[in-house]
Structure 1
Amino acid sequence: MEQFRTYFMFRGEDDQQIFSVRTFYDRSHQIDDKPQLLESVDDWNRRTLWPKVYTHTHDDGTVRLIGEAQMLIGMGVSLEHFVSSTVSWVRAAIEFDKWLVEQLGLEQEINEADKPEDDE
């Protein structure tokens, strides 16, 4: 099951209008893990066009990730380009989540969380 929420937004006015797809990843990380997260995010951002991912540290010290892709649409955009870009961005947001799990070795944590507890 995916652990993120994706929002589609139109911002700006006239020829400066932007269409943005922003993904908020629900998995929280500890502040001590931030250096490793930043290293992984930098690697992703260097290798891929989208989404560009950054960290957000909450007041309670938890760190979450946000991915974003944008397109300038104020001067016009074809429907085909708009749809294909949006689909690519959403797929890439899903792929990032899977990639991060592999990079940080989170598979074991996720699998253990999904296992039913034994009542022995």
Structure 2
Amino acid sequence: MAGRRYEGTYTVSIDPSSIPNFGGQPDPEPTGPAGSVVIPDQDLVKQLLDQMELKYLVDDEGDLAAPWEEFRTYFMFRGEGEQAVFAVRTFYDRAYTVDDKPQLHEVIDDWNRRTLWPKVYTHTHDDGSVRLIGEAQLLIGLGVGLEHFVSSTVSWVRASIEFDKWVVETLGLEKDVESPDDGEGPGN
């Protein structure tokens, strides 16, 4: 993709050399000029996900989603003009009870103090189940450096994966992963 013009900036191909190596695949050959300013769009994110060799789908609302076994990460564009935002939001599937919320708040407060992203919060559903959501956002309305966009998006995906591992370890949920569901305790 050579270059489509958007309000004084160009969108260009992602420089694959700026993508961290996922799963030991060799790095693709670099393309596109370094230092390019882009207004990211869904096609650019699809290119990035393809280069990261991540499976994705487009949901009913038109957002890109990359599914993992225990969570889904969405790549969303919201707003217009200078206020346009790109958000990477991860919905963790492990359900907790309302009684688990104080412990969850302690744990995610610790995460949020020690890390830059994703910022994690709880969401209580109508059925009373509580789930965790992680989110990172970037203003994109005036354009953003392509390398910054790529490295931020990749970092946010990696941090979402790391948070899932961290919360399992921190809450002692490894036994839930390794043993059959006994219906007791956090995450059940």
Q: TM-score, normalised on structure 2?
A: 0.59
SS at 2:75 equivalent:
strand
Task: State the number of aligned residues.
Answer: 114
Please identify which structure carries the higher helix content.
1
Structure 2 counterpart of 1:83, one-letter code:
V
1:82 aligns with 2:134: no
1:61 aligns with 2:125: no
Q: Give the structure 1 partner of residue 170 of structure 2.
A: 103
Q: Following the alignment from structure 1 to structure 2, what is the Cα–Cα distance between the partners of residues 111 and 30?
A: 21
Structure 1 counterpart of 2:140, one-letter code:
I
Structure scoring higher RCO (CA < 8 A, sep ≥ 6) equals 1
Structure 2 counterpart of 1:36, one-letter code:
Q
Deviation, 1:60, is: 1.3
- Structure 1 runs of 4+ with >2 Å offset: none
Q: Following the alignment from structure 1 to structure 2, what is the Cα–Cα distance between the partners of residues 59 and 10?
A: 26
1:40 aligns with 2:107: yes
Q: Give the structure 1 partner of residue 75 of structure 2.
A: 8
Show CA shifts across 1:34-83 (max 9, x none).
10001001000000000000000111111000000000111111111111
Contact 1:2 1:94 in 2 (8 A): no
Structure 1 counterpart of 2:159, one-letter code:
A
Between structure 1 and structure 2, the one with the greater Rg is 2
Q: Give the structure 2 partner of residue 118 of structure 1.
A: none
Q: 1:50 aligns with which of 117, 125, 130?
A: 117
- Which blocks of at least 5 consecutive residues in structure 1 are unaligned? 115-120
Question: Percent same amino acid among aligned pairs?
Answer: 76
